[in-house]
């Protein structure tokens, strides 16, 4: 009888262990690289996914249809952290750090907001791209295509491409690691905003991680990262705030068309 009790106890331990293993595979454990990442709805038309790569790099992604949202730049010579920027903006929003800037907080490249060029200085067009926010979201490879400012309301220049027309655009590893912010599209035209906020990675490593995600990347552009990297999302019933380590003079603000003031 005692022998049977021991066998029954061992049986329960084994069953419990198998049950936990199955649960672990189905439900993400924090910072574990072997879970199945899933999209979750966190706002009307706004989806969120947290992905952990095989090398334990954490990437936070938001995805949405650009036709349902507005895009704009908020710019000031008095920089603030991303969370402070977001606190000044009315309504539901996704706010991220924006474009490169100089020591005097002026844009380092071409920046257009409210239809006016804030900065005429430009990066080399063959080594950069233009993120057109309004009208119509688009990423323009200025090394291959002429960009006209006519009719452009909101846009900024950045570099480098992470993906260009579906192909990886970072061919070598510089070894320079930092936090990262990026924006891009897939082959269907859906827009993605992403940050690597908890880890420092090179651009080559970032591209390698993005390839692990089940997304058909098309055009993806790097934004000003490092201590500038920050993201704040505020929707009905959901808030996420990953503040920048340093103040930034410009941010990109994305809002649902139905709630934009």
Task: For 145-171, write each residue's pLDDT tens digit.
Answer: 988 999 999 999 999 999 999 999 999
- Is residue 140 within 8 Å of 129, Cβ to Cβ? yes
Phi, psi of 127 (to 5 degrees): -120, 10
Query: Quick check: bond before 135 cis, omega within 30?
Result: yes
Q: How far apart are CA 87 and CA 225, in angstroms?
A: 21
37 confidence band (pLDDT: 50, 70, 90): confident
Digit-coded pLDDT (tens) for 101-134 = 999 999 999 999 999 998 667 788 888 999 999 9
Work out the number of other CB atoms within 10 angstroms of the CB of residue 37.
Answer: 15
Asked if the model's pLDDT at residue 27 lies above 70, the reply is: no
* pLDDT score for 158: 96
* Three-state secondary-structure class, residue 60: strand
DSSP 101: B
Q: Where are the alpha helices (DSSP H) in the chain?
A: 2-26, 82-87, 203-212
* Annotated domain spans of the chain: 1-30, 33-256
What's the whole-model pTM score?
0.85
């Amino acid at each position: 009888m005692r022998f049977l009790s021991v066998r029954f106890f061992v049986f329960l331990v084994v069953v419990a262990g198998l049950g936990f293993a199955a649960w672990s595979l189905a439900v993400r454990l924090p910072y574990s690289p072997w879970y199945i990442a899933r999209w979750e709805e966190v706002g009307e038309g706004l989806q969120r996914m947290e992905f952990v790569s095989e090398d334990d790099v954490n990437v936070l992604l938001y995805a949405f249809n650009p036709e349902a949202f507005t895009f704009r730049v908020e710019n000031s010579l008095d920089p603030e952290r991303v969370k402070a920027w977001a606190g000044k903006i009315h309504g539901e929003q996704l706010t991220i750090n924006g474009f490169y800037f100089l020591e005097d907080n002026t844009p380092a490249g071409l920046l257009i907001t409210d239809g006016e060029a804030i900065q005429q200085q430009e990066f080399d067009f063959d080594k950069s791209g233009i993120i057109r926010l309004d009208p119509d979201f688009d990423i323009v490879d200025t090394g291959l295509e002429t960009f006209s400012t006519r009719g452009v309301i909101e846009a900024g220049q950045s570099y480098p491409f992470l993906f260009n027309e579906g192909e990886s655009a970072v061919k070598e590893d510089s070894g320079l690691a930092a936090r990262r912010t990026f924006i891009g599209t897939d082959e269907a035209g859906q827009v993605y905003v992403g940050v690597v906020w908890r880890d420092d990675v090179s651009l080559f490593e970032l591209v390698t991680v993005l390839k692990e995600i089940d997304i058909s990347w098309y055009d993806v552009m790097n934004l000003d990262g490092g201590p500038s990297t920050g993201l704040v999302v505020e929707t009905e019933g959901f808030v996420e705030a990953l503040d920048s380590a340093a103040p930034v003079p410009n941010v990109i603000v994305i809002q649902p068309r139905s709630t934009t003031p």
